[in-house]
């Protein structure tokens, strides 16, 4: 195989504990035609000293004077790449030695392949495998969609499940552009959306990277602030989701979900985009705000409004009616909905349990009535028997004796 140069971009900020292992995993690659562009984003720990200890011409460090965040730092790294392929490696993650070789081999063997991912193992701060402990997360990261169409739909309705194990054709960077500086936590996701609009994704289905899960990951720690920003970024990404997507790709991807299955013209497809945006979170209408914003634009578009009215029966009056509904559910609203759903589930179960209890009591009552009936029938038989009649005087004497004995005791 003609070994094309792979430019690896690594951004580092205060990862003195892990960066050496990350760099060493690059040096250990069986595929040796690479350059490692390390952008240190203003680290205040010993990271810079660790980087400077390496004497390898293929390692090309860039030291930023102050912290600027991963998007700016990555774009600085992108501006220095010279290879025909580009890879990214976070400074706390690790590659298996065959990773580059197998990915480049796939890209070279398949004429249409321009982007290639691998599976991952999960490790903790100490490098210990936590696949079993984090099995649900592992399955998500290593899950696959059937084809390009399903990846686009998954990104739009659900979100991202891919980690940055990709190696991609450098020319794609020129086509889709650098990281969007507006996104702090969702920059990878938004970049992948731009890639999938251009080309299909390919996979080496082997665990060739180790993704480290730590308690204090810089931008993805589970705090209320990060969760809120993450949700806001996801909503903004969806608001721009259809930009740069050809009508043909849009139609091929979403047509079975169209309000008007026969939609063909650009104007009709724009209307369909508005309706899809209304249910862009999990196919649900709980957050229709993006669709409403798009419809507000279309109502004032002299070319599209007639189509919206004639083909879809959607008028300004219908918009006014829709606009009386709640359009945006926050994380707190979502939590309250979950609480109410759980309470409703509990009450249903309790009601079912009570219903079962009542049924048991009714069944018990029926059995008791049957037993009493049997006793009454047996008693009637006994009373009509000759022995019962013959012993009647003796029973009367016994009752009198008992009554007299009781009176004597009371004196």
Task: List, as own/partner pairs, every contact residues 50-55 make where C-beta atoms lie below 8 angstroms and the sequence separation is at least 24, other chains included.
Answer: 50/16, 50/19, 50/20, 51/12, 51/19, 51/23, 54/23
Share of the chain above pLDDT 70, in %: 86
One CATH from 3.60.15.10, 1.10.10.60, 3.30.450.20, 3.90.550.10 for 6-221:
3.90.550.10
Q: How confident is the model at residue 26 (pLDDT cuts 50, 70, 90)?
A: very high
Q: What is the pLDDT of residue 407?
A: 46
Is pLDDT above 60 for 409? no
Q: What is the pLDDT of residue 187?
A: 96
Q: What is the pLDDT of residue 356?
A: 74
Is pLDDT above 90 for 130? yes
CB 54 within 8 A of CB 24: no
152-164 average pLDDT score: 96
| Cα–Cα separations (whole angstroms), residue 160 to 152, 201, 252, 279, 379 | 10, 14, 21, 17, 78
Q: How confident is the model at residue 46 (pLDDT cuts 50, 70, 90)?
A: very high
H-only helix segments in 59-145? 70-78, 99-109, 135-141
Q: How confident is the model at residue 351 (pLDDT cuts 50, 70, 90)?
A: confident
Task: List, as own/partner pairs, every contact residues 291-294 make where C-beta atoms lie below 8 angstroms and the sequence separation is at least 24, other chains included.
Answer: 292/319, 292/322, 292/323, 292/327, 293/239
CB 46 within 8 A of CB 125: no
Q: What is the pLDDT of residue 358?
A: 72
Residues in Cβ contact with 270 at an 8 Å cutoff, skipping those fewer than 6 apart? 298, 304
228-247 average pLDDT score: 94
Q: What is the pLDDT of residue 213?
A: 93
Which has more pLDDT, 36 or 282? 36
Return the beta strands (E) in 163-270 as ranges.
Answer: 167-169, 202-212
CA 9 – CA 187 distance, rounded (Å):
15
Q: What is the pLDDT of residue 386?
A: 60
Q: What is the pLDDT of residue 255?
A: 97
Enter the pTM of the model: 0.79
Q: What are the sequence ranges of the domains in the chain?
A: 6-221, 242-329, 332-404
47-73 average pLDDT score: 97
305-330 average pLDDT score: 89
Q: How confident is the model at residue 396 (pLDDT cuts 50, 70, 90)?
A: low
Q: What is the pLDDT of residue 295?
A: 96
Q: Would you tell me how many other CB atoms lie within 10 Å of the CB of residue 241?
A: 21
Mean pLDDT for the chain?
89
180-201 average pLDDT score: 97
CA 209 – CA 121 distance, rounded (Å):
6
pLDDT in tens, 318-339: 999 999 987 766 556 556 556 6
Distance of CA 107 to the CA centre of its chain: 28
Q: Would you tell me how many other CB atoms lie within 10 Å of the CB of residue 369?
A: 10
CA 81 – CA 88 distance, rounded (Å):
11
CB 323 within 8 A of CB 289: no
346-359 average pLDDT score: 74
């Amino acid at each position: 195989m003609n070994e094309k140069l792979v430019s690896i971009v690594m951004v580092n900020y205060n990862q003195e504990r892990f960066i050496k292992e990350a760099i060493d995993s690059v040096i250990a690659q069986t595929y040796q035609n690479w350059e490692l562009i390390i952008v240190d984003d203003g680290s205040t720990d010993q990271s810079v000293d660790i980087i400077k200890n390496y004497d390898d011409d293929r390692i090309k460090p860039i030291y930023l004077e102050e912290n600027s965040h991963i998007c700016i730092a990555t774009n600085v790294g992108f501006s220095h790449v010279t290879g025909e392929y580009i890879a990214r490696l976070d400074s706390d993650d690790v590659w298996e030695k065959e990773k580059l070789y197998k990915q480049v081999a796939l890209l070279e063997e398949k004429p249409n392949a321009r982007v290639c991912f691998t599976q991952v193992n999960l490790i903790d701060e100490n490098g210990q495998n936590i696949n079993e402990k984090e099995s649900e997360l592992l399955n998500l990261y290593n899950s696959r969609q059937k084809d390009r169409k399903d990846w686009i739909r998954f990104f739009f309705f659900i979100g991202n499940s891919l980690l940055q194990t990709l190696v991609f054709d450098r020319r794609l960077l020129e086509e889709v552009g650098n990281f969007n500086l507006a996104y702090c936590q969702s920059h990878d996701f938004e970049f992948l959306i731009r890639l999938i609009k251009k080309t299909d994704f390919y996979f080496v289905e082997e665990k060739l990277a180790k993704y480290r899960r730590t308690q204090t990951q810089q931008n993805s720690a589970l705090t209320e602030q990060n969760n809120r920003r993450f949700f806001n970024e996801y909503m903004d990404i969806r608001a721009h989701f259809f930009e740069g997507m050809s009508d043909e790709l849009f139609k091929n991807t979403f047509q079975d979900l169209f309000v008007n299955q026969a939609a063909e013209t650009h104007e009709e497809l724009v209307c369909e985009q508005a309706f899809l945006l209304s249910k862009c979170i999990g196919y649900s209408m709980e957050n229709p705000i993006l669709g409403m914003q798009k419809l507000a634009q279309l109502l004032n578009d002299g070319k599209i409004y007639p189509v919206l009215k004639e083909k879809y029966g959607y008028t300004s009056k219908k918009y006014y009616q829709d606009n009386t509904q709640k359009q945006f559910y926050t994380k707190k609203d979502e939590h309250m909905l979950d609480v109410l759903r759980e309470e409703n589930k509990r009450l249903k179960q309790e009601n079912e349990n009570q219903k079962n209890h009542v049924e048991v009591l009714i069944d018990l009552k029926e059995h008791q009535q049957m037993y009493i009936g049997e006793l009454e029938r047996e008693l009637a038989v006994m009373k009509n028997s000759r022995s019962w009649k013959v012993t009647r005087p003796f029973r009367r004497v016994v009752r009198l004796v008992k009554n007299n004995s009781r009176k004597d005791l009371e004196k």
